[in-house]
Chain A
Amino acid sequence: MPDFREEIRSRLARLRIAPAREAEIVDELSQHLDDEYREARSRGLNEEDASGAALNALSDHPALARALAGTGRVRARQAVPVGAAAGSRLANIWQDLRFGLRILRLRPGFTAAAVLLVALGIAATSTIFSVVNTVLLKPLPFPRSDRLIAYWGSAPDKGLAEVDLPDGLFTYQRAHTQTLVSVAAYDNGSMTLTDGGDPERIDGAWISHDFFTVLRVPPALGRTFTLDEERPSGGLVVILSDALWRQRFGADSSIIGRAVRINELPNTVIGVMPPGFEFPARSRFWVPLRLTGQAFNCWCFTTVGRLRDGVTVENARREMARLSDDLVISRPDIFPNAKPGGSLVVAMPLRTRIAGDVRTPLVVLLASVGLVLFIGCANVANLMLARAAQRTRELAVRCALGASARRIRSQLMTEAGLVLLLGLGSGLLVTWWSLRLIRTLPADRIPRIDQVTLDPTVLLFGIGTAIVAGLVFAIVPAFRASRVDLQPALRDGARSSGGPGHRRTTDAFVVMQMALSLVLLSGAALMIRSFRNLMAVETGYRIENMLTAQVALPGRYQKDTIARQFMRQALERVAAIPGVVRVGAVSRPPLAPGNPQDNIIAEGREPGPNEPTLVANIRYVTPGYFEAVGTPIVNGRAFTPADGPSSLPVTIVDESLVRRYWPGENVLGKRIRHGGDPARNRWLVIVGVVPNIKHNSLDEDASLQVYEPFDQSTIWSMHFVVRARGTPGSLIPSIRGAVASLDPALPLFNVSTLEEALARTLVPRRLTNGLLTGFAAVAMLLAAIGIYGVMSLNVNGRLREFGVRLALGASPADVLKLVLRGGARLAVIGVLIGGVASYLATPLLRDLLFRVAPRDLLTLTGVAVLLGAVALLACYLPARRAMLADPTVALRTD
């Protein structure tokens, strides 16, 4: 009997009926034709005629098709074999997407791993970039802020890298500059505000009158300062920040023209700045500087200038140096040693100046996180390659069925693209979350850190990163995999681990991962050693259980005797508080910002005509300060209450000053004085020597230090230094109470433990260290996973070979060695390349290192050995599997 099924099927083909349904119809109709045929035969027709008669029933097949089309059994959706070269390009993409999603859903482990790698990579990179973008790249919030510069002097011969400007020099430069449209000076400080709430110490700035003009930011309310208000005779006027205006004065617009009490004096509010304007630092008020154009006693003005069009920063720098020369040469009364070309000026864009010291760490971090991303992507690429290798047979079948290499490539790339998209989405979510954390870091240590957001630039960067990542992990595997060699692939596809070319690609990825992670590890190790060196630094004081709190005496304390009396009583009352072990006071405690300095001349060691006068840090201290802060007196004595205003002027110096002037001599009884007019600067007799202490930060270089008794040089801003028995925080209310019992209008401010102060100075370094170490650890882990994955795949593909070897008498140890040798080869090549790269790259870290050489051989060798060991460990696991390969099982698996 003929088989009618084929005939029926061919007639139904055009209808595209769902395959299962089609099979039923074919079954039913062919059954019918069979019956017709049998009947025709029974009527005596021959086979051919009977067959014809049966088929005759089908003859009207367009009618059949038409009729079937109306039965609702036709499936409109078209089933096309994946990879077939058919349909429009758009349809192909849609099909690839559907198929890709299905593939990813079918292998949740692979998908999760790949997406996680990509997401973390993108999140880490975007987060760091966001910080770099905000701190280093984003323009300042002023019009044409790219034209704003900062400049200052430099006196390396005095050991001063940076010298701010005095009134006389700034005023002269402002009057004569040709390169700057305008230039302003400012100085940070704080004042006590008593109106609109409890007495509060607020930070602000003293500015020259055209400060806001230079920045091109007009006030939101009122006006800015006039030139007259910048003169010593100018009235007491103040401009408030938007935040202060809202917080203390309820955003009352009638504030303009009203007097508010600042430092106990009525200041007329003449303006309110727009919201968000807080420059410099986080200013909440602005008052005018008092400029005479003649003063050279306070070298304390910071500058901001606006370049004329077409003028470069370097033009301006040269002009400022020339103007500085002109001025100092014209004033031999003040600058007896001035000579042409003697003025050194540094100038840079204001943005760079504000970013300051965090520039190098941020760039290093961005580069590091980029490397981590790359290492992660290499892992994803290897995952994809491994997957493609496992799917060799599937791909070969598709090729055999007519799929073009291009279609297969686009299919594989779509899969990778989906991973990328999922990774990008979740990565940006993680970024958003981590930026919220980063915003809580202290903005006084990392400028503008509180402004980081997930803005369009960061989004774009994230997407760009994803695309670059995709280039690494999507395109290479797709091109490798689409070059399928049909014959062997179909023959032994299932146990194939990819051809030699395939393996070369994965090997290259692994070597690269090892190399890059070694670079990161080297950097991190150097940073960790730096940090340990830093923490081991001898500070010269005790950090633990120390509290400092500042008090500023207003005009009522103008008379020295009143100020001295207040300080003596305050110290007595604080000392009486239970839990206080020792108390003293100092003009600037350790690790607080600011560092007043002055020229110092030693008797008998006066500088020659061409020698610079040395500069020393000056601190005014009360008796008991050294004991309280824990600085030992190494020679002589500490100050006592007997060192009063009418007794012999005395001083205590540090060991570096002794080494500088009187090395190896006993300095007790020698005399020093401040520079400048000898008539106004009396000689001070050295009565004690203390060690050099780290006043500003742990990594500062030793500088000369001079201490003078508060009672002999009374100033109006002092910090109490309190050593407590336990945690000093609990003493704060009692100390406030003690001060308030003397003067309720005096706020205590800058209240902080030394531990907190130290932690603040360490924030950027801790952050850099933490992140870099984290990145390096992740990189090493990724590299280990990478080499593990490749070796695993390698071993799986060769299990049969190992089985045969073992069956033929190889010992398990031989097999172990064989596999480990393969892994070790990759590790060694990677470590060698990484070693060279580290050697070249680590000098970039020089600025961040502390007492460790960038090419410290011990560190570099150490991390190389560590990475090698980790890599071998990662190889050991698959190697053990190879060693334990059961010959019989191994030979049967195929």
Chain B
Amino acid sequence: MLDLGMKKGSATLLILSLIEHQARHGYDLSKRIASLSHGVLKFHVASLYPLLYRLEDRGLIEGRWVEKAGQRRRRFYRITPAGRKYLNAQRRSWDALVEAIGRITGKSHA
């Protein structure tokens, strides 16, 4: 298992990608990261929420309390225009990085 909190930038990329099209709450995000990576990537509560708060402070995401009848309120996060711009830039540089690493290590990612 890789601790995403340790890899600077990668966790941000993941979270922004996951909420790119749909607002999600913290538990949802942690479950999705775990399941989509088949358990390889896992977010700890202690790093997920502080990261969310930091992103919110930087204006990349926006949290909002949503109440549903018969349930406790949940905080949903969605991407902001600034977050979208940031996500696109990160994606490009991430792709470039992966490609470069692949070329050096000789492994094709195709």
Which residues of A are at the interface with B, using a C-beta cutoff of 8 A? 24-25, 27-29, 31-36, 57-58, 60-61, 63-64, 67-68, 70-73
Q: For A56, give the chain B residue with the smallest CB separation.
A: B45
- In contact, B27 and A36 (Cβ under 8 angstroms): yes
- The listed residue with most A CB atoms (<10 A of its CB), out of B26, B30, B44, B57, is B44
- In contact, A31 and B46 (Cβ under 8 angstroms): no
Q: Does B68 contact A (CB under 8 A)?
A: no
- The 5 lowest CB-CB distance pairs between A and B, nearest first, are A67-B50, A64-B46, A71-B53, A57-B45, A35-B27
Q: Does B72 contact A (CB under 8 A)?
A: yes
Contact residues of B between 72 and 92, Cβ < 8 Å to A: 72-75
Q: What is the distance, in angstroms, from B39's C-beta to the closest C-beta of chain A? A: 14
Q: What is the distance, in angstroms, from A32's C-beta to the closest C-beta of chain B? A: 5
- In contact, B27 and A71 (Cβ under 8 angstroms): no
- Taken together as a complex, chains A and B put the C-alpha atoms of A63 and B54 apart, in Å, by 15
| Chain B binding surface SS class | helix
Chain B hits for A63, CB < 8 A: 44, 46-47
- Taken together as a complex, chains A and B put the C-alpha atoms of A797 and B82 apart, in Å, by 63
| Count of interface residues, chain B, beta-carbon cutoff 8 Å | 19
- In contact, A70 and B44 (Cβ under 8 angstroms): no
- The listed residue with most A CB atoms (<10 A of its CB), out of B26, B45, B51, B57, is B45
Contact residues of B between 1 and 52, Cβ < 8 Å to A: 5, 25-27, 30, 44-47, 49-51
- In contact, B44 and A57 (Cβ under 8 angstroms): yes
- In contact, A32 and B27 (Cβ under 8 angstroms): yes
- In contact, B50 and A32 (Cβ under 8 angstroms): no
- In contact, A27 and B54 (Cβ under 8 angstroms): no
Chain B hits for A36, CB < 8 A: 27
- In contact, A60 and B44 (Cβ under 8 angstroms): yes
Q: For B48, give the chain A residue with the smallest CB separation.
A: A32
- In contact, A31 and B72 (Cβ under 8 angstroms): yes
- Taken together as a complex, chains A and B put the C-alpha atoms of A35 and B74 apart, in Å, by 11
- Taken together as a complex, chains A and B put the C-alpha atoms of A744 and B49 apart, in Å, by 105
- Taken together as a complex, chains A and B put the C-alpha atoms of A31 and B76 apart, in Å, by 12
Q: For B55, give the chain A residue with the smallest CB separation.
A: A71
Q: For B73, give the chain A residue with the smallest CB separation.
A: A27
- In contact, A64 and B50 (Cβ under 8 angstroms): yes
Partner of B75, one of A28, A34, A70, A72: A28
Chain A hits for B72, CB < 8 A: 27, 31, 34
- In contact, B49 and A31 (Cβ under 8 angstroms): no
Give 11 A-B pairs besides A35-B27, A61-B46, A71-B57 with Cβ atoms closer than 8 angstroms: A24-B75, A27-B75, A29-B45, A31-B25, A32-B49, A57-B44, A57-B46, A64-B46, A64-B49, A67-B47, A71-B50
Q: What is the distance, in angstroms, from A232's C-beta to the closest C-beta of chain B? A: 102
Chain B hits for A71, CB < 8 A: 50, 53-54, 57
- Taken together as a complex, chains A and B put the C-alpha atoms of A67 and B50 apart, in Å, by 6
- Taken together as a complex, chains A and B put the C-alpha atoms of A63 and B53 apart, in Å, by 15
A-B contact pairs, 15 of them (CB 8 A): A31-B27, A32-B49, A57-B46, A60-B46, A63-B46, A63-B47, A67-B5, A67-B49, A67-B50, A67-B51, A68-B49, A68-B50, A68-B53, A70-B54, A72-B57
- Taken together as a complex, chains A and B put the C-alpha atoms of A422 and B56 apart, in Å, by 46
- Taken together as a complex, chains A and B put the C-alpha atoms of A35 and B73 apart, in Å, by 13
Chain A hits for B74, CB < 8 A: 31
- In contact, B50 and A28 (Cβ under 8 angstroms): no
Which residues of B are at the interface with A, using a C-beta cutoff of 8 A? 5, 25-27, 30, 44-47, 49-51, 53-54, 57, 72-75
Q: What is the distance, in angstroms, from A706's C-beta to the closest C-beta of chain B? A: 104
- In contact, B49 and A29 (Cβ under 8 angstroms): yes
Chain A hits for B46, CB < 8 A: 57-58, 60-61, 63-64, 67
- Taken together as a complex, chains A and B put the C-alpha atoms of A71 and B61 apart, in Å, by 14
- In contact, B45 and A58 (Cβ under 8 angstroms): yes
Chain A hits for B51, CB < 8 A: 67
Q: For A60, give the chain B residue with the smallest CB separation.
A: B46
- Taken together as a complex, chains A and B put the C-alpha atoms of A73 and B44 apart, in Å, by 20
- In contact, B26 and A28 (Cβ under 8 angstroms): yes
- Taken together as a complex, chains A and B put the C-alpha atoms of A57 and B34 apart, in Å, by 14
- Taken together as a complex, chains A and B put the C-alpha atoms of A336 and B44 apart, in Å, by 125
- The listed residue with most B CB atoms (<10 A of its CB), out of A25, A28, A34, is A28
Partner of B45, one of A27, A32, A72: A32
Q: What is the distance, in angstroms, from B37's C-beta to the closest C-beta of chain A? A: 18
Q: For A59, give the chain B residue with the smallest CB separation.
A: B46
Chain A hits for B75, CB < 8 A: 24, 27-28, 31
Q: What is the distance, in angstroms, from B61's C-beta to the closest C-beta of chain A? A: 13
Partner of B50, one of A27, A33, A70: A70
Q: For B75, give the chain A residue with the smallest CB separation.
A: A28
- Taken together as a complex, chains A and B put the C-alpha atoms of A245 and B69 apart, in Å, by 98
Q: What is the distance, in angstroms, from B80's C-beta to the closest C-beta of chain A? A: 17
Q: For A36, give the chain B residue with the smallest CB separation.
A: B27
- Taken together as a complex, chains A and B put the C-alpha atoms of A67 and B5 apart, in Å, by 10
Q: What is the distance, in angstroms, from A33's C-beta to the closest C-beta of chain B? A: 8
Q: For A64, give the chain B residue with the smallest CB separation.
A: B46
- Taken together as a complex, chains A and B put the C-alpha atoms of A64 and B43 apart, in Å, by 12
- Taken together as a complex, chains A and B put the C-alpha atoms of A417 and B72 apart, in Å, by 50
- Taken together as a complex, chains A and B put the C-alpha atoms of A71 and B48 apart, in Å, by 12
- In contact, B44 and A25 (Cβ under 8 angstroms): no
- Taken together as a complex, chains A and B put the C-alpha atoms of A694 and B51 apart, in Å, by 100
Chain B hits for A27, CB < 8 A: 72-73, 75
Chain B hits for A72, CB < 8 A: 54, 57
- Taken together as a complex, chains A and B put the C-alpha atoms of A830 and B4 apart, in Å, by 83
Chain A hits for B49, CB < 8 A: 25, 28-29, 32, 64, 67-68
- Taken together as a complex, chains A and B put the C-alpha atoms of A773 and B62 apart, in Å, by 73
Q: What is the distance, in angstroms, from B69's C-beta to the closest C-beta of chain A? A: 16
Chain A hits for B47, CB < 8 A: 63, 67
- Taken together as a complex, chains A and B put the C-alpha atoms of A408 and B51 apart, in Å, by 44
Q: What is the distance, in angstroms, from B63's C-beta to the closest C-beta of chain A? A: 8
- In contact, A73 and B45 (Cβ under 8 angstroms): no
- Taken together as a complex, chains A and B put the C-alpha atoms of A28 and B44 apart, in Å, by 14
- Taken together as a complex, chains A and B put the C-alpha atoms of A60 and B44 apart, in Å, by 9
Chain B hits for A35, CB < 8 A: 27
Chain A hits for B73, CB < 8 A: 27
- Taken together as a complex, chains A and B put the C-alpha atoms of A215 and B21 apart, in Å, by 100
Q: What is the distance, in angstroms, from B19's C-beta to the closest C-beta of chain A? A: 16
Q: For A21, give the chain B residue with the smallest CB separation.
A: B53
Q: What is the distance, in angstroms, from B83's C-beta to the closest C-beta of chain A? A: 17
Q: What is the distance, in angstroms, from B9's C-beta to the closest C-beta of chain A? A: 16
Q: What is the distance, in angstroms, from B2's C-beta to the closest C-beta of chain A? A: 16
Q: What is the distance, in angstroms, from B54's C-beta to the closest C-beta of chain A? A: 5
Q: What is the distance, in angstroms, from A591's C-beta to the closest C-beta of chain B? A: 87
Chain A hits for B54, CB < 8 A: 70-72
Q: For A69, give the chain B residue with the smallest CB separation.
A: B50
Q: What is the distance, in angstroms, from B6's C-beta to the closest C-beta of chain A? A: 11
Q: What is the distance, in angstroms, from B74's C-beta to the closest C-beta of chain A? A: 6
Chain B hits for A67, CB < 8 A: 5, 46-47, 49-51
Q: For A30, give the chain B residue with the smallest CB separation.
A: B72
Q: What is the distance, in angstroms, from B15's C-beta to the closest C-beta of chain A? A: 14
- Taken together as a complex, chains A and B put the C-alpha atoms of A34 and B45 apart, in Å, by 12
Q: For B44, give the chain A residue with the smallest CB separation.
A: A60
Q: What is the distance, in angstroms, from A8's C-beta to the closest C-beta of chain B? A: 10
- Taken together as a complex, chains A and B put the C-alpha atoms of A34 and B51 apart, in Å, by 20
- The listed residue with most B CB atoms (<10 A of its CB), out of A34, A35, A72, is A35
- The listed residue with most A CB atoms (<10 A of its CB), out of B47, B50, B73, B74, is B50
Chain A hits for B25, CB < 8 A: 31
- Taken together as a complex, chains A and B put the C-alpha atoms of A77 and B17 apart, in Å, by 37
Q: What is the distance, in angstroms, from A58's C-beta to the closest C-beta of chain B? A: 6
Q: For A72, give the chain B residue with the smallest CB separation.
A: B57
Chain B hits for A29, CB < 8 A: 45, 49
